[in-house]
Amino acid sequence: MSAFVIAARRTAVMPRGGAFAALSLQALAAPVIAACIADAGLEPGAVEELIVSNALGAGGNPARMVALAAGLKSGVAGLSLDRQCAGGLDALWLARALVVSGQAEVVVAGGVESYSRRPLRFRTDPGGGTPVAYDQPAFTPWPERDPAMADAAAALACALGISRGEQDIWAMASHARALAARGRLRAEIVALPDAPGQDDGFARALTPALMARAKVITGPITAANAAVAADGAAFCVVVSRRIARRAGRALRISGGTTLGGRPEEPGLAPVAAIARALAGAGVAPSALTVVEVMEAYAVQAIACVRGAGLDETRVNIGGGALARGHPIGASGAVLAVRLFHEMRHGAGLAAIAAAGGIGTALVLEA
């Protein structure tokens, strides 16, 4: 049994507080799902399950909210998952499992995140004191092995000897590729009825002088070589071979995995996941025609590309998250959408790291 991606769309990605700041999760996601279903040549009633990654919401099964807003049949219960940054790719791998097992023939999978409208979070005091606000939740039971993400990126740069200069060069190239690809990126972006803009809102022409003036977050990590918090949604239609035969275009999900690594080194977790996913698909790194690697931090992308033996010239050819932003729960699905639209032959890879030392990789073949 096999599963295939036959349609893939996304919103533009907008920085927190920008053009999408007023939109709910369902307002971001529903138009994208409708566009995916139309691209696939299906009716909304054909969708049997909706899997939605969301990392910053308040719970309450946002997938059900999105399913209802998207006009799917009431029998679609919706499944929400939270694996932080990796969730958007995990949603596709789970959709594949449903299809391959025969539980469904048509599954829509992806992610949505509104950083702008995320709930405020507080830790209660068991002693009855004032609740304390927090931003990053705990990702391990050991505080000493649970660094802030920027601190983990700085430690990775130090451990691997990746300088700020190298990170800045990577970031400038990401923005430059995104600007050069803006015309073709519009083919995958769904314009939202309640917000302006059909282009990713953050890409810009960076120079060494601008990079040098960027605010330092910690060590070699700056506001220019780290992805900004963002809002966005991305979804794919995953189907059985029978449905795929009727589609105009289909990419087979031929490999994938999610692995845990050292919690204090989340940036390196995708390296092992990439190796296992490629081995499972029977694809060598040199055979990949397109690669989408998450750029939460430039150093993390550099470390993964080098550690996995990937060809840098095939990585993020339309720009990466440094030029878009990081809508956490949707970011993995954005990579899959990018892969679907860039691939024309051969095999492609999407890979992402997540807090807590988690890496997910997915292989698509034309």
Catalytic residue ranges: 85, 326
- Classify 261 as helix, strand or coil: coil
Q: Rounded to an integer, what is the distance from CA 246 to the centroid of its chain? A: 28
Alpha-carbon span 54 to 336, nearest angstrom: 16
Which bin fits 93, alpha (ψ -120 to 50), beta or left (φ > 0)?
Answer: alpha
Cβ contacts of 37 within 8 Å, gap of 6 or more? 7, 43, 44, 46, 47, 108, 237
- Classify 238 as helix, strand or coil: strand
Hunting for tokens 């505080």 — which residue is that? Answer: 143
Nearest to 46 by CA among 128, 129, 108: 108
Q: What is the DSSP letter of 149?
A: H
Beta bridge partners of 10: 189, 234
Alpha-carbon span 99 to 106, nearest angstrom: 7
SS3 content of the chain, % helix, strand, coil (to 5): 35, 25, 40
Rounded to a whole number, what is the distance in angstroms from the first to the last CA of the chain? 16
Q: Rounded to an integer, what is the distance from CA 161 to the centroid of its chain? A: 27
Alpha-carbon span 339 to 358, nearest angstrom: 21
Cβ atoms of residues 146 and 293 within 8 Å: no
Alpha-carbon span 276 to 281, nearest angstrom: 9
